[in-house]
């Protein structure tokens, strides 16, 4: 048996154990938080290294829904760097929760505060500053992220209480 066959069989066995684990809440948490971690990690890199791509996506969304032109210049460094740092921090907090939702459960609080404040910031911009429809869309998506954080982390945490940590696939890191 070649090394690649062995690795492929090990990966297939791990996937079977992961998918069929009795604690479905933990499995679903891992799937959703993998998506969320990546969803925040890669855009943070874009905000740092290719901000014109990020603003182009916002403008593209506006064009798609008929919102008109986005009239603001987004070419400064201060807010871009702060925003990129915040989004990278969100990715890191999602990753910490994935590693051990029981140990890092309190990370859920600043995670929700950080994302909810951005969400409501976009709602405030839409309602009180400039009614650009993509702002409303970002508010809805960001607030949906907060609800996903709360629901999936909470159900995984209590699922581990019910099923026990030893049933979790993947196993919890940084155990006490």
What is the count of structural domains for the chain? 1
Cα torsion 45, 41, 59, 126 to 10°: value is -120
Is there a domain that residue 30 lies in? yes
In a domain, 149, yes or no: yes
Tell whether 33 is covered by a domain. yes
Q: Is 104 part of any domain? A: yes
Please choose, from the candidates 28, 29, 35, the residue with its C-alpha nearest in 3D space to the C-alpha of residue 104: 29
Task: Tell me if 137 is assigned to some domain.
Answer: yes
71-116 residue pLDDT tens: 888 888 998 999 999 999 999 999 999 999 999 999 999 999 999 9
In a domain, 13, yes or no: no
Domain range for 140 is: 23-167
Quick check: is 87 in a domain? Answer: yes
Residue 113, in any domain of the structure: yes
Verdict on whether the full-model pTM lies above 0.85: yes
pLDDT digits (tens, 9 = 90+) for 127-163: 999 999 999 999 999 999 999 999 999 999 999 999 9
Query: What's the CA gap between 32 and 13, in Å, rounded?
Result: 21
């Amino acid at each position: 048996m070649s090394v690649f066959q062995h690795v492929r069989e090990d990966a297939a066995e791990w996937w079977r154990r992961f998918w069929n684990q009795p604690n479905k809440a933990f499995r679903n948490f891992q799937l959703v938080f993998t998506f969320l971690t990546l969803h925040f990690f890669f855009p943070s890199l874009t905000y740092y290294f290719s901000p014109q791509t990020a603003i182009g996506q916002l403008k593209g969304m506006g064009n798609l829904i008929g919102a008109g032109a986005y009239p603001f210049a987004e070419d400064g460094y201060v807010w871009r760097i702060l925003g990129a740092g915040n989004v990278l921090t969100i990715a890191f907090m999602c990753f910490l929760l994935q590693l051990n939702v029981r140990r890092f459960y309190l990370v859920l609080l600043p995670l929700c505060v950080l994302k909810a404040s951005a969400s409501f910031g976009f709602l405030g911009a839409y309602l009180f500053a400039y009614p650009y429809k993509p702002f409303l869309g970002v508010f809805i998506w960001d607030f949906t992220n907060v609800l996903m954080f709360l629901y999936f982390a909470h159900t995984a945490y209590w699922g581990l209480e019910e099923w026990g940590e030893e049933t979790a696939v993947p196993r919890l890191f940084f155990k006490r």
